[in-house]
Amino acid sequence: MTPLQGMRRASIDGQRNEGDSLFPLAFSCDQGAVTLDQFTGWTSESRDDLLALASQHGALAFRGFPTPTVDDFDAFIQALNLENFPYAKSLSNAVRINRTPRVFSANEAPPEVKIFFHHEMAQTPLYPKYILFYCEIAPESGGATPLCRSDILYAKLAEQCPEFAAKCESTGLRYTNVMPGIDDARSGMGRSWHSTLGVETKAEAEARLGELGYSFQWLADDCLKATTPQLPAVMETSPGKKTFFNQLIAAYCGWKDERNDPSDAIRHGDGTKLDPEAVMVAVQLAEQLAYDHQWQAGDIVLLDNTVAMHARRPFTGTRKVLASLAEMRTHAFDAVG
């Protein structure tokens, strides 16, 4: 990868040294050293190297580059030449607002709501390979985006809770959530079933759920309770390298609002309940391994969603962190493998 004039690899507060890699790998740029066209041109030329580095390290952080606006962030995304995964086509639980065809708000949940660690859309059959985050406005306080290397977490979990880790891998997981009839921005998982499924009518919703292999039940107040098919809890990203690719922590700890009870949100794929002590070990490991990205306006973070989990800390003031999803992938539980 040819270096860009004025750019360098940088240390960043809280950056972790995970043996053979830094997490995240960070780049900084001297103010005024390059133009946006130069930056996006370098990004396009370096695309394959950047994506390989994101997968190796889990995440790349860019600070000080000429990206003060959402359109600049959009230009960076386009320079990577990644297939867009539009929010409208996702099965995400979160309420989000599009700013460009590729960029939307990360989550509209209130600032006091903590969003727990998760791999984006691992609780659905469709997920993005990459996530890109961008800070338009940094909060007054708090509001960090914690990141965690899921491969390292799984290795430690397998050491400390071998039976639980093995059962997660051998049976997978099933997730249940209740979707409202209209978007509820008060909740971190308040996206309506109309929006989530991309449908207008209940008949269309039932047909879409059938295609996806979900079971479902209609509830009062136009709510829809849906349970996923058996989905993987562990992903082998390369031979011998496994990640804890799921939404176990988020579902168990955070899927709570007036419609949802975390105790009903997640089960092993065979229908049995999770060991609460083992779940808390996973929660604690994620926190121990976390890097908290403290946002500055203009920051960009590129995440390999199969390697690193992310979360959100509560905050005060105005915080505008935007996101983009790329390279839609599918996964299904393989009872043999």
Report whether pLDDT(80) > 70.
Answer: yes
DSSP alpha helices (H): ranges in 130-201? Answer: 150-160, 162-171, 193-197
Query: How much is the pLDDT for 94?
Result: 75
| Collapsed DSSP state (helix, strand, coil) of residue 140 | coil
Query: How much is the pLDDT for 92?
Result: 80
Report whether pLDDT(336) > 50.
Answer: no
Average pLDDT over residues 27-56: 96
Q: What is the maximum alpha-carbon separation in the chain? A: 60
Which amino acid appears at position 125 of this protein?
P
H or E element that contains 10: strand 7-10
Query: How much is the pLDDT for 178?
Result: 95
What are the CA-CA distances from residue 276 to residues 168, 174, 269 (Å)?
Answer: 13, 16, 16
Question: What is the side-by-side order of every strand in the sheet holding 224-227?
Answer: 215-218, 224-227, 173-179, 266-268
Could you give the domains of the chain?
7-149+293-327 (3.60.130.10)
Query: How much is the pLDDT for 90?
Result: 82
Provide the pLDDT confidence category of residue 85 given band limits of 50, 70 and 90: very high
Average pLDDT over residues 6-25: 92
Average pLDDT score, the chain: 94
φ, ψ dihedrals at 129, nearest 5°: -70, -40
Name which residue leads in pLDDT, 148 or 332.
148
Report whether pLDDT(28) > 60.
Answer: yes
pLDDT in tens, 275-305: 999 999 999 999 999 999 999 999 999 999 9
**Residue 184 near residue 257 (C-beta atoms within 8 A):** yes
pLDDT in tens, 59-70: 999 999 999 999
Query: How much is the pLDDT for 337?
Result: 42
pLDDT in tens, 246-258: 999 999 998 888 9
Query: How much is the pLDDT for 166?
Result: 97
Average pLDDT over residues 155-165: 98
Report whether pLDDT(172) > 80.
Answer: yes
What's the CA gap between 269 and 162, in Å, rounded? 17
H or E element that contains 327: strand 320-330
Query: How much is the pLDDT for 335?
Result: 62
pLDDT in tens, 179-189: 999 999 888 78
Place of tokens 């952080």: 61
User: Which residues share a beta bridge with 147?
Assistant: 291, 310
